[in-house]
Amino acid sequence: SDRVPLLELEDVDAGYGETRVLHDLSLAIEEGEIVSLIGRNGAGKTTTLRSIMGIVTPTSGMIAYRGEDISHLDATATARRGLSLVPEERQIFPELTVRENLELASYGGADDVDSLSVDAALETFENLAEREGNAGSSLSGGEQQMLAIARALVAGADLILLDEPTEGLAPYIVQDVMEIIEDLNDRGITVLLIEQNVHVGLALADRNYVINQGEIVWEGTSAELEADEEVLDRYLGVT
């Protein structure tokens, strides 16, 4: 088909100073998908998300969003276009309340505002509503993750980049976060997800890319990946 993917990376090279981390990395995400990027520690997953967001600038190759080249935009400019990165460390403002954290997010976000109001976001995230006047620093790990995701909603994101959203969370909270990610997707938000926990990635994702030493080495559906013991063993150390 001639449909343009929502996001497309074509032969992207990127890294830090002299260190090249990503090598000719290509991937594509259609609007409405949940796609996971999985691979071992240091494989280049976070660097991929930073390159898409514009925190790291590719040294060659192309990143297109809705068919437009965004390779050289910074993170402020990509946020205006509707991209949002939820980083692994979540970056909640500890001294601001839950509500204030959300209010701040409503400023830095997308230009085409069909973003959710702070009140509507609080209705969606009941746990957060109960704590809207509490300081960010008082939240549990799971609540911080939910606040970080709620910020992306308030910012009006169309594509959310999630860096290990379940990292360090108790199993029953992992379940809650997975439901929230599915709920976002039901609202029409496209998700690119990094997961160290292969089982969480497989359960959520429509499609998966496996990254190894900065290169995509495998691509397929979750059912295909679950059936591919060689890939699971060789690149992911599962089985």
How is residue 209 annotated by DSSP? E
By CB under 6 A, name the one of 36, 46, 71, 145 that touches ligand ATP. 46
CB of 149 to ligand ATP, least distance (A): 19
**C-beta separation of 172 from 162 below 8 A:** no
23 or 80: CB nearest ligand ATP: 23
- Position 90 contacts ligand ATP (CB under 6 A): no
C-beta of residue 82 within 8 angstroms of C-beta of residue 110: yes
- Is residue 36 a contact point for ligand ATP (CB under 6 A)? no
CB of 168 to ligand ATP, least distance (A): 13
Number of residues that bind ligand ATP (CB under 6 A): 11
User: Is residue 54 close enough to count as binding ligand ATP by CB under 6 A?
Assistant: no
165 lies in the site for ligand ATP, by CB under 6 A: no
CA distances from 27 to 46, 52, 209 (A): 15, 11, 8
Which residue do the tokens 């994101």 mark? 157
**Contact region for ligand ATP (CB under 6 A) — 39-47, 109-117, 130-138, 173-181?**
39-47
Rounded Cα distance between 199 and 26, Å, is 24
For position 42 contacting ligand ATP by CB under 6 A, the verdict is yes
* Cα(207)–Cα(220) distance, integer angstroms: 5
Does residue 191 interact with ligand ATP by CB under 6 A?
no
**Binding letters toward ligand ATP, positions 4-23, x by CB under 6 A:** ------------x--x-x--
51 sits in which H/E element: helix 45-53
Name, in order, each residue with C-beta under 8 angstroms of 10's C-beta and a sequence gap of 6 or more: 26, 61, 62, 63, 64
Q: Is 43 an interacting residue with respect to ligand ATP (CB under 6 A)? A: yes
Q: Summarize as ranges the residues that interact with ligand ATP (CB under 6 A).
A: 16, 19, 21, 39, 41-47
